[in-house]
Structure 1
Amino acid sequence: MMTKWLFAALFGMMAVAPGGAVLALTAPAAGSKADYDATVKQADADYKAASAKCGGMMANAKDVCKAEAKRDRDVAKANAEAMRDGTAQAQAKAHKVKADRDYDVAKEMCGDRKGNAKDVCVKEAKVAHEKALGAVKVEKATDTGTSKDVAEARRDAKKDTMDAKYQADKEKCDALSGDAKDKCTADVKAKYGK
């Protein structure tokens, strides 16, 4: 008898849990000011701890560590703000902050490289940044605009990403010389219709 009751209770909880989970996911995402304040306070504390770890590092590793600590803090704060406000605009802003801070970290990671390899690394980081910003623009247009706005945002995002890719591929040609460089440049221009 006890086994049947336990089985029924367990089965009942499993049947209710998925519905409860769906309800939690579809409820408005607005949070309380107390939750926001606690998250911001934790983000600042985490940033101080992460920055302290960076103190023992040298050269570019230290710069990357600091950029990662700043990114993590800024993203946590932006996400807390988005949760507090519960709006599509706040969520888009949080995604933009993440894209910008990821770009900062990626550029710092290029710091150990020299010459053309560094330039290519920075241009490739720019490609990833433009792609992320484009996704934010499309998301924002999807949440707040018409289908025409979404199509325009997609078109602009694709153009910005392709322009960044063109610059990165063109930069790769600069490592070459003579006929190889000329052929590389011509191939890149043909690839992107320039």
Structure 2
Amino acid sequence: MTIHLTLAYVRWISTSKRKKMKKTFAMLLMCSATISSAAWAASNDASATYKAAKESATSDYKTARAKCDSLAGNPKDVCVAEAKAARVHTDANAKAEYKNTLAARTSAAKDIADADYDVAKAKCGNLAGNDKDVCVKEAKANKVVAVENAKADKKVIDARVDANDEKRTAEYKVAIEKCDALAGAAKDNCVAAAKTKFGK
């Protein structure tokens, strides 16, 4: 009798554990599917936002450009340059946001600097003589400053990344050196832990 009860209890525990494992596995699958869906949705949202921004920039440009047709001479040149610059600002920022990389942000800053320079240069068109020369040189100087600032920001961030990499490499070497004082399994475990910690 006791043996039968014990066997029944063991079967009940096994069945119970199997049910729990199935539930756990099902929950893990659901969580995994939810995370994948969220990542896919986020990617789709970013793509849709980028597409919408580009379409908006094109539409706004066409509207602004059409208004320039009623003008003539330098005012028209300025109007067209401003319409183009507005489109570049929207496009470049949207692309940088979508790609979300340092290179994309640097490229956007350069494109915006070029567009702003074209506007400034167009505004110089209604001047003459020395005033015009000064205006053009100021426009060029502002463009150079904007581009160099973008490059400098990239260099600073790249330098920080390089410095962090070098620091981690140095710390890894120290950790491995400490493992040399050990032997056998303890040394193997120490080396493995160091590799895991520093991603080597």
TM-score range, shorter chain: 0.5 to 0.7
User: Shift in Å at residue 78 of structure 1?
Assistant: 0.9
Query: Residue 83 of structure 2 corresponds to which residue in structure 1?
Result: 69
Letter matched to residue 109 of structure 1 = K
Letter matched to residue 116 of structure 1 = N
Mapped contact 1:71–1:101 kept (Cα < 8 A):
yes
Query: Residue 115 of structure 2 corresponds to which residue in structure 1?
Result: 101
Change (3 A) 1:85 1:72: same
* Sequence identity percentage: 44
1:131 to 125, 129, 145: 145
Larger RCO of the pair (alpha carbons < 8 Å, separation 6+)? 1
Mapped contact 1:71–1:102 kept (Cα < 8 A):
yes
Provide runs of 4+ in structure 1 moved above 4 Å: 146-149
SS of the equivalent of 1:32 reads helix
Change (3 A) 1:83 1:104: same
Summarize deviations over 1:116-153 as a string: whole Å, max 9, x none. 2211110111111111111111111122235999xxxx
What's the TM-score, normalizing by structure 2?
0.56
Letter matched to residue 50 of structure 1 = A
Letter matched to residue 87 of structure 1 = T
Query: Is it true that 1:53 corresponds to 2:74 in the alignment?
Result: no
Letter matched to residue 54 of structure 2 = V
Give the Cα–Cα distance (whole angstroms) in 2 for the partners of residues 143 and 62 of structure 1. 41
Give the Cα–Cα distance (whole angstroms) in 2 for the partners of residues 147 and 37 of structure 1. 31
Structure 2 unmatched ranges of 5 or more: 1-43, 164-200
Change (3 A) 1:147 1:131: farther
Give the Cα–Cα distance (whole angstroms) in 2 for the partners of residues 144 and 100 of structure 1. 24
Mapped contact 1:31–1:83 kept (Cα < 8 A):
no
Give the Cα–Cα distance (whole angstroms) in 2 for the partners of residues 31 and 96 of structure 1. 26
Query: Is it true that 1:143 corresponds to 2:157 in the alignment?
Result: yes
User: Shift in Å at residue 111 of structure 1?
Assistant: 0.1
Structure 1 unmatched ranges of 5 or more: 1-29, 150-194
Equivalent pairs counted in the alignment come to 122
1:161-180 matches, cutoff 5 A: none
Give the Cα–Cα distance (whole angstroms) in 2 for the partners of residues 144 and 64 of structure 1. 37
The structure having more radius of gyration, on CA atoms, is: 2
